[in-house]
């Protein structure tokens, strides 16, 4: 899967699209977290019983499970009374019950945490606009704090961010400890001998064993189809007949899935930085690796044009120097001013993160300049920005743990180690730099411990209102071709294109894009299909 983040290191806000360690590629828009804000705290909510709710025995189910609202079947969730309470400024927060398993709506329930910013002009309110930043694993509650919607939208919509099932403050997926996560992120992404391959397999087995042990039955029920079904419950709970939605990166997959399941319920929908849900997992992985290589080329051309680029004075030479640097770090990690070293795995994330936003290229130059001189501090800072690792060694977000859990239910794979090694040329021929790690991404979902319980919908979504699909020509995480394909697959898809660098288009400095999206969401008039900005 592909997708995720516009990096703003000054605020440690990243929009990235990879799964650490052994995982497959992914994406999300993340933002700074405040431990003082209960709505954005990374601790999982314990559903509090109301008059008609009983919390499950914590000895039977992990934290976050319960019996849910009274009543029978799905109606008890659609008809539930939700209590919104103040949670900072004018914002309101709530826990919303959804079924653990939509095939058994009378069974166990889980909670979603939602946060909304009420429309500034309540007298002219058009309804609610749900938002999702991507991932899988991105917090919609965090996204609410930095999405930067135009006032024409925030005046007339209640903007609702929610943490999807398994994510952050909703009933969460949990796999391994922070110490184990450190080792997982730093592990070798390019095993090239029998011993390294065995280590690679051992680390992944420990990870998946932890997911099974610590996440319980939730692990089977975090698919995108189930997230989309949850959004329809939210739509009803907030009182809307149609769902208006803005999804970025992997959030476009959620939106397309919702449209496929509930085409008659689609209101105004924008899918920015699209994932092609019908593409095969291997094709997605190859194309994403190629997208990162394309973004790297754009960065290197700019770096060289400014003179004194730390990797060399030609794109080919600089690309090869980076490949050699990764190989060197496989054997000899870079020291830092602290007690941690920069392994090849950490350097991989440190290099990729700034490619999500042209504004962050200077950080990559600084990190590479240090690296060729034997220091890893900036690359480590960049890698930690991706993983949201704090200075004390904690990971307040569970986004890394959610990514594979969702991806592998959406797109199970069955490749053996032998097949992965035999098919490596398919990656490295299209992505000489990042393909050497990306060739191993299929291993994650080929060894996932649980199977999906839901089937993918018909993504043509016949009968849906116009759905605006936005693509950026040099998007590293969700290559432009995916937006083109999704717009074609959706019966009512409208393609809007941005010629530029970086991941996703809205709020990236292109007034033409912003105006087209703002007009559509505020007034309901989509741009002409094929409009270019």
CA dihedral sign, ordered 336, 340, 438, 400: negative
pLDDT of residue 1: 30
In whole angstroms, give the CA distance from residue 143 to residue 112: 15
- Strands 493-501, 467-474: parallel, antiparallel or unpaired by DSSP? parallel
The backbone region for 170, taken as left when phi is positive above 0, alpha when psi lies in -120 to 50, beta otherwise, is: beta
In whole angstroms, give the CA distance from residue 201 to residue 210: 14
Q: Is the pLDDT of residue 358 over 50?
A: yes
Query: Per-residue confidence at 488, pLDDT binned at 50, 70, 90?
Result: very high
| Per-residue exposure over 62-79, b if at least 16 CB sit within 10 Å of its own CB, e if not | bbbbbbbbeeeebebbee
Residue 171's Cβ-count burial label (10 Å; 0-12, 13-18, 19+) is buried
Spell out the residues 6+ positions from residue 162 whose beta carbon is closer than 8 angstroms to its own: 96, 112, 113, 114, 115, 130, 132, 140, 141, 170, 234
- What is the average per-residue pLDDT within 338-358? 95
**258 vs 185, 224, 268, CA distance in Å?**
32, 9, 12
**27 vs 191, 229, 247, 406, 533, CA distance in Å?**
23, 21, 12, 12, 24
pLDDT of residue 38: 25
Strand partners, 93: 85, 115
pLDDT of residue 65: 82
Cβ atoms of 467 and 265 closer than 8 Å: no
pLDDT of residue 281: 87
Q: Which residue has the tokens 């889980």?
A: 110
Tens digits of residue pLDDT in 157-175: 999 999 999 999 999 999 9
pLDDT of residue 63: 63
Structure tokens at 160: 């609702």
CA dihedral sign, ordered 372, 376, 377, 382: positive
Cβ atoms of 158 and 116 closer than 8 Å: yes
Of 114, 99, 96, 117, nearest to 48 by C-alpha is 96
Domains in the chain: boundaries: 1-108+124-533
Question: What DSSP state is assigned to residue 333?
Answer: P
Of 310, 187, 261, 287, nearest to 454 by C-alpha is 261
Q: Is the pLDDT of residue 319 over 90?
A: yes
In whole angstroms, give the CA distance from residue 498 to residue 15: 18
Which CATH fold would you assign to the domain 1-108+124-533? Answer: Rossmann fold (3.40.50)
Tens digits of residue pLDDT in 381-401: 999 999 999 999 999 999 999
Tens digits of residue pLDDT in 258-300: 999 999 999 999 999 999 999 888 898 999 999 999 999 999 9
CA dihedral sign, ordered 295, 301, 304, 305: negative
Tens digits of residue pLDDT in 220-250: 999 999 999 999 999 999 999 999 999 999 9
CA dihedral sign, ordered 387, 391, 395, 397: negative
Quick one: CA torsion of 123, 240, 108, 447, rounded to 10 degrees? -110
Tally Cβ neighbours within 10 Å of residue 10: 9
**437 vs 20, 106, 201, 425, CA distance in Å?**
11, 44, 15, 12
Tens digits of residue pLDDT in 410-444: 999 889 999 999 999 999 999 999 999 999 999 99
Q: Is the pLDDT of residue 118 over 90?
A: yes
Residue 380's Cβ-count burial label (10 Å; 0-12, 13-18, 19+) is buried
pLDDT of residue 62: 53
Q: Which residue has the tokens 């979603």?
A: 112
Average pLDDT, the chain: 88
Active centre residues (catalytic): 249, 475, 503
In whole angstroms, give the CA distance from residue 494 to residue 530: 7
pTM for this model (two decimals): 0.87
In whole angstroms, give the CA distance from residue 408 to residue 417: 17
């Amino acid at each position: 899967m592909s997708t995720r983040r516009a990096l703003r290191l000054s605020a440690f806000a990243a929009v990235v699209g990879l799964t650490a360690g052994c995982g497959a590629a992914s994406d999300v828009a993340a933002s700074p977290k405040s431990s003082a804000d209960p709505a954005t705290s990374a601790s999982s909510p314990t559903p509090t019983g109301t008059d008609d709710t009983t919390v499950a025995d914590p000895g039977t189910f992990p934290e976050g499970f319960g019996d849910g609202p009274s009543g029978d079947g799905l109606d008890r969730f659609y008809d539930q009374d939700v209590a919104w309470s103040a949670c900072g400024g004018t914002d309101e927060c709530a826990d919303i019950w959804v079924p653990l398993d939509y095939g058994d709506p009378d069974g166990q329930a889980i909670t979603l945490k939602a946060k909304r910013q009420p429309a500034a002009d309540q007298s002219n309110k058009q309804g609610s606009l749900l938002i999702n930043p991507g991932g899988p694993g991105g917090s919609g509650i965090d996204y609410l704090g930095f999405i930067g919607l135009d006032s024409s939208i925030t005046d007339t919509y209640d903007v609702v961010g929610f943490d999807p099932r398994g994510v952050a403050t909703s009933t969460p997926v949990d796999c391994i400890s922070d110490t184990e996560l450190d080792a997982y992120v730093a592990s070798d992404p390019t095993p090239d001998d029998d011993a390294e391959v065995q280590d690679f397999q051992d680390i992944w087995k420990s990870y998946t064993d932890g997911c099974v042990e610590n996440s319980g039955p939730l692990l089977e029920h975090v698919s995108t189809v189930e997230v989309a079904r949850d959004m329809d419950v939210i739509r009803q709970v907030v009182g809307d007949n149609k769902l208006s939605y803005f999804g970025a990166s992997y959030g476009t997959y959620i939106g397309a899935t919702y449209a496929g399941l509930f085409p008659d319920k689609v209101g105004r929908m924008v899918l920015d930085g699209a994932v092609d849900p019908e593409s095969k997992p291997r094709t997605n992985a190859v194309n994403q690796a190629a997208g990162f290589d394309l973004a790297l080329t754009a960065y290197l051309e700019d770096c060289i044009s400014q003179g004194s680029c730390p990797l060399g004075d030609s794109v080919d030479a600089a690309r090869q120097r980076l490949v050699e640097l990764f190989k060197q770090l496989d054997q000899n990690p870079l020291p830092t001013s602290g007690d941690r070293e920069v392994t090849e795995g950490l350097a991989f994330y440190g290099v990729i993160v700034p490619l999500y936003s042209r504004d962050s290229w200077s950080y990559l130059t600084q990190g590479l300049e240090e690296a060729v001189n034997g220091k890893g501090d900036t690359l480590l800072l960049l890698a930690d920005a991706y993983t949201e690792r704090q200075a004390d060694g904690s990971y307040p977000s569970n986004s890394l743990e959610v990514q594979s859990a969702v991806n592998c239910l959406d797109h199970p794979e069955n490749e053996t180690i032998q097949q992965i090694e035999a098919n490596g040329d398919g990656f490295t021929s299209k992505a000489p730099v990042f393909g050497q790690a990306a060739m191993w991404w299929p291993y994650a979902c080929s060894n996932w411990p649980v199977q999906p319980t839901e089937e993918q919908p018909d993504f043509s979504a016949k009968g849906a209102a116009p759905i605006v699909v936005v693509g950026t020509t040099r998007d590293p995480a969700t290559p432009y071709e995916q937006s083109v394909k999704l717009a074609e697959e959706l019966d009512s898809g409208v393609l809007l294109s941005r010629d530029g660098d970086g991941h996703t288009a809205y709020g990236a400095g292109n007034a033409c894009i912003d105006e087209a999206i703002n007009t559509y969401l505020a007034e309901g008039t989509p741009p002409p299909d094929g409009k270019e900005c």
